[in-house]
Amino acid sequence: MRFVIVTGMSGAGKSTALKMLEDMGYFCVDNLPISLVEKFAQLILDGAQGGIQKAAMGIDVRSGQALGDLQSVLEHMSILGIEYEILFLDAKDESLVKRYKETRRAHPLAGGGRVDAGIKRERKRLEFLKKQADYILDTSQLLTRELKAELDKIFVCNQEFNSLIITVLSFGFKYGIPSDADLVFDVRFLPNPYYIDDLRPKNGLNKEVHDYVMGFDNTLVFLDKLEDMIRFLIPNYINEGKNRLIIAVGCTGGKHRSVTLAEELYRRLKKSEGYGLSLEHRDIEKDMYRKKG
């Protein structure tokens, strides 16, 4: 029997995750009173022979003051030999605020005040759960299909999981360095396809631009060294407990060289298992026909 506690920040995707787990064959319940958590787990365990082999339960700050009792409940479950896993869904504060603004929902702990104040209170209340979590997923930049892929990997395929999700991001320096980037690499030293008339209106997703950028020895040397460094850093970041890594690759306008290099780096890193991986091109559609590309 597999019993998963799904928790985390409001707005980080807990309801979506529960629905996905239900589609994956898990028996799911949400917002059960804390006093019934152990009883529910025991019933699932006793009824495992009856067909329920996988169950997931959603718990969050909607439990109110009773949430503080969850720690002792979990400890008692461990004493009784009831095995459980904790999935903690998180997101950066700015992402959560943006989501609340878009949905026009009130944060459960904000009252009549600001959303960010409610988020701060919630983080404090959930701190003990995040520390005990077996899996931490940062959904700040995750697409729905990427979240589903991560859950499938952990709870269906039973692949080894490291709570690190890597985003390879291309950008243009003329539009500013991404504020959330952990590593920033400047590829403006490479020849610029912008100055080739036939390549100017295209971008790094087009074969002609890709072949042009990849046709220089410096490009290949740079990629080899970059890949080698990142592969060295990844296990060290995982050991540190880092759960999100954003690798930003920038050129002047963010549509030629940076896109090509980001695509190639993503392709190389995709060959490895053990961490989530996504690819974004922030500025590829901007300034397509203006003076500087």
Confidence of residue 273 (pLDDT cuts 50, 70, 90): low
265 pLDDT above the threshold of 70: yes
Q: Which residues have a Cβ under 8 Å from the Cβ of 114 and sit 6 or more positions away?
A: none
Calculate mean pLDDT across residues 166-176. Answer: 95
Reply yes or no on whether the pLDDT at 49 is more than 80: no
- E strands present in 46-109: 54-58, 85-90
Q: Which residue has the higher pLDDT, 234 or 1?
A: 234
Predicted local distance difference test score (pLDDT) of residue 159: 60
Looking at per-residue pLDDT, the higher value among 109 and 187 belongs to: 187
Contact in structure between 213 and 257 (CB atoms under 8 Å): yes
Residues 7/59, Cβ–Cβ less than 8 Å: yes
| pLDDT at residue 162 is higher than 70 | no
Which residue bears the tokens 């152990």?
38
pLDDT value at residue 180: 85
Host H or E run for residue 17? helix 14-23
pLDDT class of 146 with cuts at 50, 70, 90: confident
Of residues 19 and 49, more confidently modeled: 19
Beta pairing class for 183-186 and 276-281: unpaired
Give the C-alpha distances (Å, rounded to integers) separating 73 from 6, 46, 202: 15, 18, 59
Mean pLDDT of 161-189: 90
Stretch 165-178: mean pLDDT: 93
What token pair was written down for 10?
Answer: 């409001």
Flag whether the pTM goes above 0.85.
no
User: What are 209-251's pLDDT values in tens digits?
Assistant: 999 999 999 999 999 999 999 999 998 887 777 778 999 999 9
Mean pLDDT, rounded, of the chain: 88
Please give the structure tokens belonging to residue 43.
């019933």
Query: Which part of the chain is CATH 3.40.50.300?
Result: 2-155
Which neighbouring-strand residues pair with 166? 245, 277
Residue 275 DSSP label: S
Q: Which amino acid is at 200?
A: R
Please write the tens of the pLDDT for every residue from 88-145.
999 888 889 888 888 777 788 877 778 888 899 899 999 999 989 988 888 888 888 8
CATH of domain 2-155: 3.40.50.300
